[in-house]
Chains A and B, each alone.
Chain A
Amino acid sequence: LAKTTQPISMDSYEGQEVNITCSHNNIATNDYITWYQQFPSQGPRFIIQGYKTKVTNEVASLFIPADRKSSTLSLPRVSLSDTAVYYCLVGDSDNAGNMLTFGGGTRLMVKP
């Protein structure tokens, strides 16, 4: 399993862009990179997934360099409601039943 390393916590202010970087040095060829968001007392929720280069959806962008040893989740113009824990996961794309490891995540605090 590819292990991931993320900052434990980050602070930001409303309206700013937030970038959270995840390191995954031993990512395998078949691995995809997935980010989840978790609010208190709720289960995690899928944000975005990518394999290489850049992926964008309505809530975030994911930047993956050519060597794929890291990835950056970008949240544009955050609001107070983006305060949550963000998890970076790396897993095998060939088997949907793979064992994903969540790790400790990054606690994002958005201040007014």
Chain B
Amino acid sequence: NAGVTQTPKFQVLKTGQSMTLQCAQDMNHNSMYWYRQDPGMGLRLIYYSASEGTTDKGEVPNGYNVSRLNKREFSLRLESAAPSQTSVYFCASTGAFLPYEQYFGPGTRLTVT
């Protein structure tokens, strides 16, 4: 049982390049989330998916797209990376029953130059 996995762990992009961050969970959770965390700051929600086939915007969705490929996988795409998107990206998932604990992945550290 790996929990929540994310790939890659590190990535450096040039401005304007695109990339997809991958996230998968093996806990049969319905809800999945993408957050970003800038240095010294709290987490900000980018997008979330309450169930397979649905996605919704969070606090900071601009510049990102997501795909809930199936129940296990939730990907985050940067179409044209900008230096302001330099951050650590965390994926999380939550089950359908109390205590609705969010399980987080190890994070992807992204630098855009």
A residues contacting B by CB (< 8 A) are: 32, 34, 36, 41-46, 49, 85, 87, 91, 93, 95-97, 99-105
- Report whether B100 and A43 are in contact in the complex, using a CB–CB cutoff of 8 Å: no
Interface residues on B, range: 20 to 34
- Report whether B48 and A36 are in contact in the complex, using a CB–CB cutoff of 8 Å: no
- Report whether A99 and B48 are in contact in the complex, using a CB–CB cutoff of 8 Å: yes
Given contacts A97-B48, A97-B51, contact A46 B98 (CB under 8 A): no
Interface of A: prevailing SS? loop
In the assembled complex, B26 has its CB within 8 A of some CB on chain A: no
Q: How far is the CA of A95 from the CA of B50 in the complex (A)?
A: 8
Which of the residues B42, B58, B106 comes within 8 Å of A87, measured between beta carbons? B42
For chain B, residues 79 to 113, give those with C-beta under 8 angstroms from any C-beta of chain A.
Answer: 90, 92, 94-107
- Report whether A99 and B45 are in contact in the complex, using a CB–CB cutoff of 8 Å: yes
- Report whether B100 and A104 are in contact in the complex, using a CB–CB cutoff of 8 Å: no
- Report whether A41 and B44 are in contact in the complex, using a CB–CB cutoff of 8 Å: no
List the B side residues contacting A99 at CB < 8 Å: 45, 48, 56, 58-59
In the assembled complex, B30 has its CB within 8 A of some CB on chain A: yes
